[in-house]
Structure 1
Amino acid sequence: MTSLAIETHGLGKRFGARTALESIDLEVPRGTAFGFLGRNGAGKTTLVRLLLGLAQPTSGTMRLLGTEPRLALARVGAIVEEPRFHPHLTGRENLLVHAAARDAHAAARIPAALERVGLAARADDAVKGYSLGMCQRLGIARCLLCDPELLILDEPVNGLDPAGILEFRRLVRSLVEEGRTVLLSSHLLDEVEKTCDSAAIVDNGRVVAQGTIAQLTERGDERTIDIVAAPAVKAAHVLAATPLVRRAVEHDGGIRATLAPDAPRDADIVTALLTRLLAEGIAVERVNPVRRSLEDQFLSMTTRLEHA
Protein backbone atom coordinates (compact mmCIF):
# COMPACT_ATOMS: atom_id res chain seq x y z
CA MET A 1 0.00 0.00 0.00
CA THR A 2 1.39 3.39 -0.98
CA SER A 3 2.18 5.85 1.79
CA LEU A 4 0.44 8.61 -0.19
CA ALA A 5 -3.29 9.30 -0.06
CA ILE A 6 -3.14 11.77 -2.97
CA GLU A 7 -0.47 11.95 -5.65
CA THR A 8 -0.53 14.19 -8.73
CA HIS A 9 2.09 14.74 -11.40
CA GLY A 10 1.98 17.61 -13.88
CA LEU A 11 -1.75 18.03 -13.29
CA GLY A 12 -3.26 20.82 -15.34
CA LYS A 13 -6.66 22.22 -16.27
CA ARG A 14 -7.51 24.79 -18.91
CA PHE A 15 -10.84 26.44 -19.65
CA GLY A 16 -10.43 27.69 -23.19
CA ALA A 17 -7.55 30.16 -23.15
CA ARG A 18 -7.54 30.41 -19.34
CA THR A 19 -5.24 28.19 -17.29
CA ALA A 20 -6.81 27.28 -13.94
CA LEU A 21 -4.10 24.84 -12.85
CA GLU A 22 -0.67 24.26 -14.33
CA SER A 23 1.69 21.36 -13.65
CA ILE A 24 0.51 20.60 -10.12
CA ASP A 25 2.69 18.07 -8.27
CA LEU A 26 1.19 17.07 -4.92
CA GLU A 27 2.15 14.40 -2.40
CA VAL A 28 -0.31 14.07 0.47
CA PRO A 29 0.81 11.47 3.05
CA ARG A 30 -1.75 9.08 4.51
CA GLY A 31 -2.94 9.76 8.03
CA THR A 32 -2.31 13.51 7.93
CA ALA A 33 -4.22 16.76 7.58
CA PHE A 34 -2.99 18.54 4.44
CA GLY A 35 -3.85 22.14 3.57
CA PHE A 36 -4.23 23.31 -0.02
CA LEU A 37 -3.83 27.01 0.59
CA GLY A 38 -4.46 29.91 -1.75
CA ARG A 39 -6.41 33.10 -2.21
CA ASN A 40 -9.85 32.99 -3.80
CA GLY A 41 -9.52 32.19 -7.50
CA ALA A 42 -6.11 30.53 -7.13
CA GLY A 43 -7.37 27.15 -8.37
CA LYS A 44 -8.27 25.32 -5.13
CA THR A 45 -11.80 24.26 -6.08
CA THR A 46 -10.64 23.24 -9.55
CA LEU A 47 -8.19 20.79 -7.97
CA VAL A 48 -10.92 19.36 -5.73
CA ARG A 49 -13.21 18.87 -8.73
CA LEU A 50 -10.46 17.10 -10.66
CA LEU A 51 -9.70 14.74 -7.78
CA LEU A 52 -13.37 13.81 -7.46
CA GLY A 53 -13.92 13.25 -11.18
CA LEU A 54 -16.24 16.25 -11.50
CA ALA A 55 -13.93 17.72 -14.14
CA GLN A 56 -11.32 16.19 -16.40
CA PRO A 57 -7.68 17.33 -16.47
CA THR A 58 -6.13 18.62 -19.66
CA SER A 59 -2.71 17.30 -18.64
CA GLY A 60 -0.98 15.16 -16.02
CA THR A 61 -1.96 12.22 -13.83
CA MET A 62 -3.45 11.69 -10.38
CA ARG A 63 -3.97 8.83 -7.93
CA LEU A 64 -6.15 8.55 -4.82
CA LEU A 65 -5.39 5.97 -2.15
CA GLY A 66 -2.88 4.32 -4.47
CA THR A 67 -5.22 3.78 -7.41
CA GLU A 68 -7.18 5.56 -10.14
CA PRO A 69 -9.55 8.16 -8.64
CA ARG A 70 -12.71 6.47 -9.99
CA LEU A 71 -11.77 3.25 -8.20
CA ALA A 72 -11.15 5.03 -4.89
CA LEU A 73 -14.24 7.25 -4.65
CA ALA A 74 -16.21 4.74 -2.56
CA ARG A 75 -13.64 5.37 0.20
CA VAL A 76 -13.67 9.18 -0.17
CA GLY A 77 -15.93 11.70 1.56
CA ALA A 78 -16.07 15.21 0.11
CA ILE A 79 -17.52 18.70 0.35
CA VAL A 80 -17.25 20.79 -2.82
CA GLU A 81 -17.95 24.48 -2.28
CA GLU A 82 -21.15 24.97 -0.23
CA PRO A 83 -22.90 21.67 0.64
CA ARG A 84 -26.46 21.46 -0.67
CA PHE A 85 -29.43 19.57 0.76
CA HIS A 86 -33.16 19.15 0.25
CA PRO A 87 -34.45 22.06 2.36
CA HIS A 88 -37.85 20.52 3.18
CA LEU A 89 -36.28 17.32 4.57
CA THR A 90 -34.73 17.01 8.01
CA GLY A 91 -31.02 16.62 8.51
CA ARG A 92 -31.49 12.94 9.28
CA GLU A 93 -33.67 12.42 6.20
CA ASN A 94 -31.09 14.11 3.99
CA LEU A 95 -28.46 11.73 5.27
CA LEU A 96 -30.77 8.75 4.67
CA VAL A 97 -31.18 9.85 1.03
CA HIS A 98 -27.42 10.01 0.66
CA ALA A 99 -26.87 6.72 2.49
CA ALA A 100 -29.11 4.95 -0.02
CA ALA A 101 -26.46 5.56 -2.68
CA ARG A 102 -23.64 4.35 -0.45
CA ASP A 103 -22.80 0.92 0.99
CA ALA A 104 -25.20 -1.22 2.98
CA HIS A 105 -23.83 0.01 6.31
CA ALA A 106 -24.08 3.76 5.56
CA ALA A 107 -27.52 4.27 7.12
CA ALA A 108 -26.38 2.68 10.38
CA ARG A 109 -23.59 5.27 10.64
CA ILE A 110 -26.01 8.23 10.60
CA PRO A 111 -26.58 8.58 14.40
CA ALA A 112 -22.85 8.52 15.16
CA ALA A 113 -22.09 10.98 12.35
CA LEU A 114 -24.73 13.44 13.60
CA GLU A 115 -23.42 13.13 17.15
CA ARG A 116 -19.86 13.66 16.03
CA VAL A 117 -20.60 16.98 14.27
CA GLY A 118 -22.86 18.25 17.07
CA LEU A 119 -26.19 18.00 15.23
CA ALA A 120 -27.87 15.16 17.11
CA ALA A 121 -30.27 17.56 18.86
CA ARG A 122 -31.32 19.20 15.55
CA ALA A 123 -31.28 16.09 13.38
CA ASP A 124 -35.08 15.99 13.03
CA ASP A 125 -35.48 19.68 12.13
CA ALA A 126 -35.98 20.70 8.50
CA VAL A 127 -32.73 21.81 6.88
CA LYS A 128 -34.40 25.03 5.66
CA GLY A 129 -34.12 26.20 9.28
CA TYR A 130 -30.39 25.43 9.52
CA SER A 131 -27.76 28.16 9.59
CA LEU A 132 -24.91 28.08 7.08
CA GLY A 133 -22.63 26.72 9.79
CA MET A 134 -25.08 23.91 10.57
CA CYS A 135 -25.23 23.01 6.87
CA GLN A 136 -21.44 22.85 6.82
CA ARG A 137 -21.51 20.46 9.77
CA LEU A 138 -24.23 18.36 8.12
CA GLY A 139 -21.99 18.21 5.05
CA ILE A 140 -19.18 16.75 7.15
CA ALA A 141 -21.63 14.24 8.67
CA ARG A 142 -22.54 13.21 5.13
CA CYS A 143 -18.85 12.66 4.38
CA LEU A 144 -18.59 10.26 7.31
CA LEU A 145 -21.31 7.90 6.07
CA CYS A 146 -18.90 5.96 3.85
CA ASP A 147 -16.42 5.51 6.70
CA PRO A 148 -13.88 7.34 4.53
CA GLU A 149 -10.15 6.76 4.35
CA LEU A 150 -9.83 10.18 2.71
CA LEU A 151 -11.86 13.36 3.22
CA ILE A 152 -11.61 16.23 0.73
CA LEU A 153 -13.09 19.41 2.19
CA ASP A 154 -13.41 22.62 0.17
CA GLU A 155 -13.57 25.71 2.44
CA PRO A 156 -15.30 23.70 5.22
CA VAL A 157 -15.30 26.38 7.94
CA ASN A 158 -17.28 28.93 5.92
CA GLY A 159 -20.14 30.14 8.09
CA LEU A 160 -18.80 28.68 11.33
CA ASP A 161 -18.49 30.92 14.39
CA PRO A 162 -15.26 30.81 16.46
CA ALA A 163 -16.61 28.00 18.66
CA GLY A 164 -17.63 26.04 15.59
CA ILE A 165 -14.20 26.51 14.02
CA LEU A 166 -12.55 25.19 17.19
CA GLU A 167 -14.84 22.15 17.15
CA PHE A 168 -14.05 21.59 13.48
CA ARG A 169 -10.33 21.70 14.23
CA ARG A 170 -10.77 19.09 16.94
CA LEU A 171 -12.84 16.95 14.58
CA VAL A 172 -10.13 17.01 11.90
CA ARG A 173 -7.45 16.07 14.38
CA SER A 174 -9.59 13.20 15.74
CA LEU A 175 -10.08 11.90 12.19
CA VAL A 176 -6.33 12.00 11.59
CA GLU A 177 -5.73 10.17 14.88
CA GLU A 178 -7.93 7.37 13.51
CA GLY A 179 -5.60 7.04 10.53
CA ARG A 180 -7.72 8.95 8.03
CA THR A 181 -6.40 11.62 5.66
CA VAL A 182 -7.96 15.07 5.35
CA LEU A 183 -7.29 17.42 2.42
CA LEU A 184 -8.42 20.87 3.52
CA SER A 185 -8.75 23.47 0.76
CA SER A 186 -8.85 26.95 2.28
CA HIS A 187 -7.87 30.60 2.01
CA LEU A 188 -7.72 30.91 5.82
CA LEU A 189 -4.02 30.84 6.61
CA ASP A 190 -4.35 30.79 10.38
CA GLU A 191 -6.77 27.87 10.29
CA VAL A 192 -4.51 25.81 8.01
CA GLU A 193 -1.53 26.53 10.24
CA LYS A 194 -3.41 25.44 13.38
CA THR A 195 -5.14 22.40 11.86
CA CYS A 196 -2.83 20.85 9.27
CA ASP A 197 0.40 18.88 9.41
CA SER A 198 1.53 19.87 5.90
CA ALA A 199 0.39 22.24 3.20
CA ALA A 200 0.89 23.40 -0.35
CA ILE A 201 0.62 27.07 -1.28
CA VAL A 202 -0.97 27.68 -4.68
CA ASP A 203 -0.92 30.95 -6.60
CA ASN A 204 -2.15 31.61 -10.12
CA GLY A 205 -2.70 27.90 -10.68
CA ARG A 206 0.81 26.85 -9.63
CA VAL A 207 2.15 25.30 -6.43
CA VAL A 208 4.77 27.75 -5.18
CA ALA A 209 5.69 25.91 -1.95
CA GLN A 210 4.96 22.56 -0.34
CA GLY A 211 6.06 20.85 2.86
CA THR A 212 5.28 20.45 6.54
CA ILE A 213 3.96 23.51 8.36
CA ALA A 214 7.31 23.73 10.18
CA GLN A 215 9.23 23.65 6.90
CA LEU A 216 7.02 26.30 5.33
CA THR A 217 7.30 28.68 8.26
CA GLU A 218 11.07 28.25 8.51
CA ARG A 219 11.76 29.21 4.90
CA GLY A 220 13.63 32.38 4.18
CA ASP A 221 17.12 33.55 5.04
CA GLU A 222 16.23 36.17 7.65
CA ARG A 223 15.91 34.94 11.24
CA THR A 224 15.16 37.24 14.14
CA ILE A 225 15.15 37.09 17.93
CA ASP A 226 13.34 39.42 20.35
CA ILE A 227 15.22 40.29 23.52
CA VAL A 228 14.13 42.24 26.60
CA ALA A 229 17.20 43.37 28.57
CA ALA A 230 18.49 46.27 30.68
CA PRO A 231 20.12 48.59 30.10
CA ALA A 232 18.52 48.35 26.65
CA VAL A 233 20.87 50.76 24.86
CA LYS A 234 23.97 48.88 26.04
CA ALA A 235 22.33 45.56 25.12
CA ALA A 236 21.62 46.81 21.60
CA HIS A 237 25.23 47.93 21.15
CA VAL A 238 26.59 44.62 22.45
CA LEU A 239 24.32 42.63 20.15
CA ALA A 240 25.12 44.78 17.12
CA ALA A 241 28.84 44.19 17.70
CA THR A 242 28.38 40.41 17.87
CA PRO A 243 29.36 38.56 14.63
CA LEU A 244 26.27 36.36 14.98
CA VAL A 245 23.99 39.41 14.63
CA ARG A 246 23.48 41.38 11.44
CA ARG A 247 21.66 44.26 13.14
CA ALA A 248 19.88 45.08 16.42
CA VAL A 249 17.12 47.69 16.70
CA GLU A 250 14.51 48.76 19.25
CA HIS A 251 11.24 46.91 18.78
CA ASP A 252 8.04 46.79 20.86
CA GLY A 253 9.67 47.64 24.18
CA GLY A 254 12.71 45.48 23.59
CA ILE A 255 15.36 44.71 20.98
CA ARG A 256 14.91 42.75 17.76
CA ALA A 257 18.14 41.13 16.61
CA THR A 258 18.40 40.00 12.99
CA LEU A 259 20.80 37.09 12.81
CA ALA A 260 23.68 36.55 10.43
CA PRO A 261 23.17 33.77 7.85
CA ASP A 262 25.79 31.54 9.52
CA ALA A 263 24.37 31.94 13.05
CA PRO A 264 23.56 28.65 14.86
CA ARG A 265 20.01 27.33 14.90
CA ASP A 266 17.38 27.26 17.64
CA ALA A 267 18.58 26.86 21.23
CA ASP A 268 22.27 27.24 20.32
CA ILE A 269 21.88 30.84 19.14
CA VAL A 270 19.74 31.74 22.17
CA THR A 271 22.43 30.34 24.48
CA ALA A 272 25.20 32.18 22.63
CA LEU A 273 23.48 35.58 22.78
CA LEU A 274 22.42 35.11 26.41
CA THR A 275 25.99 34.24 27.41
CA ARG A 276 27.33 37.30 25.57
CA LEU A 277 24.87 39.69 27.25
CA LEU A 278 25.40 38.29 30.75
CA ALA A 279 29.17 38.56 30.31
CA GLU A 280 28.69 42.31 29.80
CA GLY A 281 26.69 42.65 33.01
CA ILE A 282 23.36 43.07 31.20
CA ALA A 283 20.22 41.78 32.94
CA VAL A 284 18.19 39.70 30.50
CA GLU A 285 14.47 39.27 31.13
CA ARG A 286 13.45 37.37 28.02
CA VAL A 287 14.92 35.92 24.79
CA ASN A 288 12.40 34.70 22.19
CA PRO A 289 13.13 33.50 18.65
CA VAL A 290 10.59 35.11 16.31
CA ARG A 291 8.63 32.40 14.54
CA ARG A 292 7.83 33.11 10.91
CA SER A 293 4.11 32.55 10.44
CA LEU A 294 2.45 30.79 7.54
CA GLU A 295 0.91 34.15 6.65
CA ASP A 296 4.38 35.68 6.33
CA GLN A 297 5.41 32.88 4.02
CA PHE A 298 2.20 33.08 2.01
CA LEU A 299 2.54 36.81 1.44
CA SER A 300 6.17 36.48 0.43
CA MET A 301 5.35 33.87 -2.22
CA THR A 302 2.11 35.04 -3.82
CA THR A 303 1.05 37.87 -6.05
CA ARG A 304 -0.65 39.64 -3.16
CA LEU A 305 2.72 40.93 -2.08
CA GLU A 306 3.56 42.09 -5.61
CA HIS A 307 0.41 44.22 -5.75
CA ALA A 308 0.43 45.46 -2.14
Structure 2
Amino acid sequence: MGGSTILTIDGVSKSYKNRCVLHPVYLYIARGECVVLCGANGAGKSTLIKLITGIEQPTAGTISFSTEKKKRFAYMPDHMNFPKELTPLEITSYYGKFLNTSMVTIEATLKKVGLWEERHQKVGSFSKGMSQRLNLAQCLLSDVDLYIFDEPTNGLDPYWVIQFKQLIRELRNNGKTILLSSHIMRDVVEIADRVAIMFQGEVKAYGTLPDIYRTYRCRTLEDVFLSLHVNPKNEPFVTHV
Protein backbone atom coordinates (compact mmCIF):
# COMPACT_ATOMS: atom_id res chain seq x y z
CA MET A 1 0.00 0.00 0.00
CA GLY A 2 1.04 3.55 -0.60
CA GLY A 3 1.78 6.25 1.91
CA SER A 4 0.76 9.77 0.93
CA THR A 5 -2.82 10.63 0.07
CA ILE A 6 -3.72 11.03 -3.61
CA LEU A 7 -7.45 11.74 -3.21
CA THR A 8 -9.29 13.35 -0.31
CA ILE A 9 -13.09 13.41 -0.02
CA ASP A 10 -14.05 15.86 2.72
CA GLY A 11 -17.69 15.96 3.79
CA VAL A 12 -19.05 15.43 0.29
CA SER A 13 -22.83 15.04 0.01
CA LYS A 14 -25.42 15.16 -2.76
CA SER A 15 -29.07 16.14 -2.72
CA TYR A 16 -31.64 16.47 -5.49
CA LYS A 17 -34.23 19.07 -4.53
CA ASN A 18 -35.08 18.06 -0.95
CA ARG A 19 -33.94 14.45 -1.21
CA CYS A 20 -30.49 13.49 0.09
CA VAL A 21 -29.03 10.62 -1.93
CA LEU A 22 -25.51 10.77 -0.49
CA HIS A 23 -24.84 11.70 3.13
CA PRO A 24 -21.52 13.41 4.03
CA VAL A 25 -18.59 11.21 3.01
CA TYR A 26 -15.10 11.51 4.49
CA LEU A 27 -12.57 9.28 2.73
CA TYR A 28 -8.91 9.37 1.77
CA ILE A 29 -7.26 7.24 -0.90
CA ALA A 30 -3.55 6.54 -0.42
CA ARG A 31 -1.09 6.20 -3.28
CA GLY A 32 -0.55 2.72 -4.63
CA GLU A 33 -3.60 1.06 -3.08
CA CYS A 34 -6.81 -0.42 -4.40
CA VAL A 35 -9.93 0.90 -2.69
CA VAL A 36 -13.32 -0.64 -3.43
CA LEU A 37 -16.67 1.06 -2.88
CA CYS A 38 -18.86 -1.88 -2.00
CA GLY A 39 -22.64 -1.90 -1.75
CA ALA A 40 -25.90 -2.93 -3.34
CA ASN A 41 -27.42 -1.14 -6.31
CA GLY A 42 -28.64 2.26 -5.14
CA ALA A 43 -26.21 2.43 -2.21
CA GLY A 44 -24.59 5.61 -3.57
CA LYS A 45 -21.46 4.17 -5.19
CA SER A 46 -22.01 5.59 -8.67
CA THR A 47 -23.18 8.92 -7.27
CA LEU A 48 -19.94 9.27 -5.31
CA ILE A 49 -17.86 8.35 -8.36
CA LYS A 50 -19.72 10.91 -10.50
CA LEU A 51 -18.88 13.57 -7.91
CA ILE A 52 -15.22 12.53 -7.81
CA THR A 53 -14.92 12.62 -11.60
CA GLY A 54 -16.72 15.96 -11.90
CA ILE A 55 -19.66 14.61 -13.88
CA GLU A 56 -21.86 16.02 -11.14
CA GLN A 57 -21.19 18.66 -8.51
CA PRO A 58 -21.55 18.01 -4.77
CA THR A 59 -24.17 19.80 -2.73
CA ALA A 60 -21.58 20.25 0.02
CA GLY A 61 -18.00 19.27 0.76
CA THR A 62 -14.78 19.24 -1.25
CA ILE A 63 -12.78 16.78 -3.34
CA SER A 64 -9.05 17.31 -3.85
CA PHE A 65 -6.39 15.47 -5.83
CA SER A 66 -2.65 15.28 -5.29
CA THR A 67 -1.03 13.92 -8.44
CA GLU A 68 2.09 14.78 -10.39
CA LYS A 69 0.54 14.21 -13.80
CA LYS A 70 -1.48 16.89 -15.60
CA LYS A 71 -4.33 14.46 -16.22
CA ARG A 72 -5.45 13.60 -12.71
CA PHE A 73 -7.27 10.33 -13.38
CA ALA A 74 -8.62 7.94 -16.00
CA TYR A 75 -12.26 6.90 -15.74
CA MET A 76 -14.22 3.85 -16.84
CA PRO A 77 -17.98 4.47 -16.46
CA ASP A 78 -20.37 1.60 -15.78
CA HIS A 79 -21.28 1.60 -19.47
CA MET A 80 -20.30 3.49 -22.60
CA ASN A 81 -22.40 3.98 -25.73
CA PHE A 82 -19.81 3.84 -28.50
CA PRO A 83 -20.89 4.72 -32.08
CA LYS A 84 -22.09 1.44 -33.58
CA GLU A 85 -20.60 2.14 -37.01
CA LEU A 86 -17.05 2.53 -35.67
CA THR A 87 -14.45 -0.14 -34.90
CA PRO A 88 -12.31 -0.64 -31.76
CA LEU A 89 -9.26 0.61 -33.64
CA GLU A 90 -11.06 3.75 -34.80
CA ILE A 91 -12.42 4.47 -31.32
CA THR A 92 -9.13 3.95 -29.47
CA SER A 93 -7.27 5.92 -32.13
CA TYR A 94 -9.71 8.79 -31.63
CA TYR A 95 -9.09 8.81 -27.87
CA GLY A 96 -5.39 8.32 -28.50
CA LYS A 97 -5.14 11.58 -30.45
CA PHE A 98 -6.28 13.57 -27.42
CA LEU A 99 -3.93 11.64 -25.14
CA ASN A 100 -0.92 11.69 -27.49
CA THR A 101 -0.97 7.89 -27.32
CA SER A 102 1.24 5.98 -29.75
CA MET A 103 -0.09 3.27 -32.05
CA VAL A 104 2.16 0.84 -30.20
CA THR A 105 0.28 1.61 -26.98
CA ILE A 106 -3.10 1.39 -28.72
CA GLU A 107 -2.22 -2.03 -30.12
CA ALA A 108 -0.92 -3.24 -26.76
CA THR A 109 -4.08 -2.01 -25.01
CA LEU A 110 -6.43 -3.72 -27.47
CA LYS A 111 -4.45 -6.91 -27.06
CA LYS A 112 -4.63 -6.57 -23.27
CA VAL A 113 -8.44 -6.51 -23.40
CA GLY A 114 -8.64 -9.22 -26.05
CA LEU A 115 -9.94 -7.08 -28.91
CA TRP A 116 -6.97 -6.87 -31.27
CA GLU A 117 -8.33 -9.58 -33.57
CA GLU A 118 -11.66 -7.70 -33.67
CA ARG A 119 -10.04 -4.28 -34.20
CA HIS A 120 -11.77 -3.82 -37.59
CA GLN A 121 -15.14 -5.19 -36.49
CA LYS A 122 -17.96 -2.69 -36.05
CA VAL A 123 -18.93 -2.12 -32.44
CA GLY A 124 -22.62 -2.49 -33.30
CA SER A 125 -22.08 -6.25 -33.57
CA PHE A 126 -20.36 -6.52 -30.17
CA SER A 127 -21.71 -8.45 -27.21
CA LYS A 128 -22.13 -6.67 -23.88
CA GLY A 129 -18.89 -8.16 -22.62
CA MET A 130 -16.93 -7.03 -25.68
CA SER A 131 -18.31 -3.50 -25.36
CA GLN A 132 -17.31 -3.48 -21.70
CA ARG A 133 -13.77 -4.54 -22.62
CA LEU A 134 -13.61 -1.69 -25.14
CA ASN A 135 -14.79 0.62 -22.35
CA LEU A 136 -11.90 -0.71 -20.27
CA ALA A 137 -9.47 -0.11 -23.15
CA GLN A 138 -10.35 3.59 -23.47
CA CYS A 139 -9.57 4.00 -19.77
CA LEU A 140 -6.26 2.14 -19.95
CA LEU A 141 -4.96 4.32 -22.80
CA SER A 142 -4.10 6.98 -20.22
CA ASP A 143 -0.89 6.83 -18.21
CA VAL A 144 -2.11 8.39 -14.96
CA ASP A 145 -1.59 7.98 -11.22
CA LEU A 146 -5.24 7.20 -10.44
CA TYR A 147 -7.67 4.88 -12.24
CA ILE A 148 -11.39 4.99 -11.42
CA PHE A 149 -13.66 2.11 -12.45
CA ASP A 150 -17.44 2.09 -11.95
CA GLU A 151 -18.79 -1.51 -11.79
CA PRO A 152 -16.07 -2.65 -14.23
CA THR A 153 -16.90 -6.38 -14.23
CA ASN A 154 -20.54 -5.91 -15.28
CA GLY A 155 -21.14 -8.02 -18.40
CA LEU A 156 -17.75 -9.74 -18.30
CA ASP A 157 -17.61 -13.53 -18.51
CA PRO A 158 -15.68 -15.45 -15.81
CA TYR A 159 -12.43 -15.52 -17.83
CA TRP A 160 -12.37 -11.74 -18.28
CA VAL A 161 -13.34 -11.14 -14.65
CA ILE A 162 -10.19 -13.07 -13.73
CA GLN A 163 -8.17 -11.09 -16.28
CA PHE A 164 -9.51 -7.81 -14.93
CA LYS A 165 -8.46 -8.71 -11.39
CA GLN A 166 -4.99 -9.54 -12.67
CA LEU A 167 -4.89 -6.19 -14.46
CA ILE A 168 -5.72 -4.42 -11.18
CA ARG A 169 -2.85 -6.23 -9.49
CA GLU A 170 -0.48 -5.21 -12.29
CA LEU A 171 -1.52 -1.56 -12.05
CA ARG A 172 -1.01 -1.59 -8.30
CA ASN A 173 2.37 -3.32 -8.64
CA ASN A 174 3.37 -0.49 -11.01
CA GLY A 175 2.57 2.09 -8.33
CA LYS A 176 -0.85 3.09 -9.66
CA THR A 177 -3.82 3.87 -7.43
CA ILE A 178 -7.20 2.25 -8.09
CA LEU A 179 -10.67 3.26 -6.96
CA LEU A 180 -13.50 1.04 -8.12
CA SER A 181 -17.07 0.22 -7.25
CA SER A 182 -18.55 -3.25 -7.10
CA HIS A 183 -21.50 -5.12 -5.64
CA ILE A 184 -19.80 -8.49 -6.24
CA MET A 185 -18.36 -9.66 -2.93
CA ARG A 186 -15.77 -12.03 -4.38
CA ASP A 187 -14.23 -9.25 -6.47
CA VAL A 188 -13.88 -7.07 -3.39
CA VAL A 189 -12.27 -9.73 -1.20
CA GLU A 190 -9.68 -10.70 -3.83
CA ILE A 191 -8.35 -7.28 -4.87
CA ALA A 192 -9.14 -4.64 -2.23
CA ASP A 193 -6.57 -3.14 0.11
CA ARG A 194 -9.35 -1.20 1.78
CA VAL A 195 -13.12 -1.22 1.45
CA ALA A 196 -15.78 1.46 1.88
CA ILE A 197 -19.06 -0.21 2.83
CA MET A 198 -21.92 1.87 1.42
CA PHE A 199 -25.54 1.44 2.47
CA GLN A 200 -28.50 3.71 1.73
CA GLY A 201 -26.31 6.66 0.73
CA GLU A 202 -23.92 6.41 3.67
CA VAL A 203 -20.41 5.07 4.17
CA LYS A 204 -20.95 2.72 7.07
CA ALA A 205 -17.35 1.55 7.39
CA TYR A 206 -13.98 2.20 5.80
CA GLY A 207 -10.85 0.16 6.34
CA THR A 208 -9.22 -3.17 5.69
CA LEU A 209 -11.44 -6.23 5.62
CA PRO A 210 -10.11 -7.46 9.00
CA ASP A 211 -10.97 -4.02 10.47
CA ILE A 212 -14.50 -4.23 9.13
CA TYR A 213 -15.02 -7.83 10.23
CA ARG A 214 -13.94 -6.94 13.76
CA THR A 215 -16.21 -3.90 13.89
CA TYR A 216 -19.28 -5.82 12.77
CA ARG A 217 -18.23 -9.05 14.48
CA CYS A 218 -18.63 -10.86 11.17
CA ARG A 219 -16.49 -13.28 9.18
CA THR A 220 -17.55 -12.36 5.63
CA LEU A 221 -18.75 -9.33 3.68
CA GLU A 222 -22.04 -11.12 3.11
CA ASP A 223 -22.52 -11.24 6.88
CA VAL A 224 -21.67 -7.53 7.14
CA PHE A 225 -24.41 -6.61 4.69
CA LEU A 226 -26.89 -8.90 6.41
CA SER A 227 -26.01 -7.11 9.64
CA LEU A 228 -26.66 -3.73 8.04
CA HIS A 229 -30.08 -4.82 6.79
CA VAL A 230 -30.97 -6.02 10.29
CA ASN A 231 -29.42 -3.02 12.04
CA PRO A 232 -29.07 -0.17 9.51
CA LYS A 233 -28.26 2.39 12.23
CA ASN A 234 -24.80 0.89 12.82
CA GLU A 235 -22.44 3.80 13.37
CA PRO A 236 -19.80 4.29 10.64
CA PHE A 237 -16.13 4.22 11.50
CA VAL A 238 -12.96 5.39 9.79
CA THR A 239 -9.45 4.01 10.04
CA HIS A 240 -6.61 6.52 9.93
CA VAL A 241 -3.27 6.61 8.09
What is the TM-score with the length of structure 1 in the denominator? 0.70
Distance 1:137 1:201, change over 3 A: same
Please state if 1:96 is matched with 2:23.
no
Number of the residue aligned with 1:206: 202
Q: Quick one: distance in 2 between partners of 1:139 and 1:86?
A: 12
Contact conserved, 1:33 with 1:196, CA < 8 A, in 2? Answer: yes
1:125 to 113, 121, 124: 121
Displacement of 1:34 = 0.8
Letter in 1 for 2:80: P
Distance 1:135 1:9, change over 3 A: same
Please state if 1:300 is matched with 2:233.
no
Please state if 1:164 is matched with 2:160.
yes
1:153 to 149, 152, 155: 149
1:80 to 71, 77, 82: 77
> Which has the larger Rg?
1
Contact conserved, 2:33 with 2:178, CA < 8 A, in 1? Answer: yes
Distance 1:65 1:134, change over 3 A: farther
Distance 1:124 1:174, change over 3 A: same
Please state if 1:60 is matched with 2:61.
yes
Q: Quick one: distance in 1 between partners of 2:227 and 2:82?
A: 39
Contact conserved, 1:4 with 1:27, CA < 8 A, in 2? Answer: yes
Number of the residue aligned with 2:39: 38
Q: Quick one: distance in 1 between partners of 2:46 and 2:70?
A: 17
Match of 1:113, SS state, is: helix
Query: Over the residues paired in the alignment, what is the CA RMSD in angstroms?
Result: 2.1
Q: Quick one: distance in 1 between partners of 2:230 and 2:90?
A: 47
Displacement of 1:5 = 2.3
- Give identity over the alignment, percent: 36
Displacement of 1:106 = 5.3
Corresponding residue pairs, total? 231
Q: Quick one: distance in 2 between partners of 1:106 and 1:136?
A: 22
Displacement of 1:13 = 0.7
Q: Quick one: distance in 2 between partners of 1:167 and 1:99?
A: 23
Letter in 2 for 1:8: I
Displacement of 1:299 = 2.2
Structure 2 residue runs of 5 or longer lacking an equivalent are 233-241
Structure 1 residue runs of 5 or longer lacking an equivalent are 223-291
Number of the residue aligned with 1:267: none
Distance 1:6 1:107, change over 3 A: farther
Match of 1:101, SS state, is: helix
Number of the residue aligned with 1:139: 135
Displacement of 1:148 = 2.1
Letter in 2 for 1:17: N
1:218 to 197, 214, 221: 214
1:41-93 CA-partner distances (Å, limit 9, x unpaired): 111111111111111111011112359xxxx7723111122122111111111
Spell out structure 1 runs of 4+ moving beyond 4 A: none
Contact conserved, 1:100 with 1:107, CA < 8 A, in 2? Answer: no
Displacement of 1:108 = 4.5
Contact conserved, 2:3 with 2:30, CA < 8 A, in 1? Answer: no
Larger relative contact order, structure 1 or 2 (CA cutoff 8 Å, min sep 6): 2
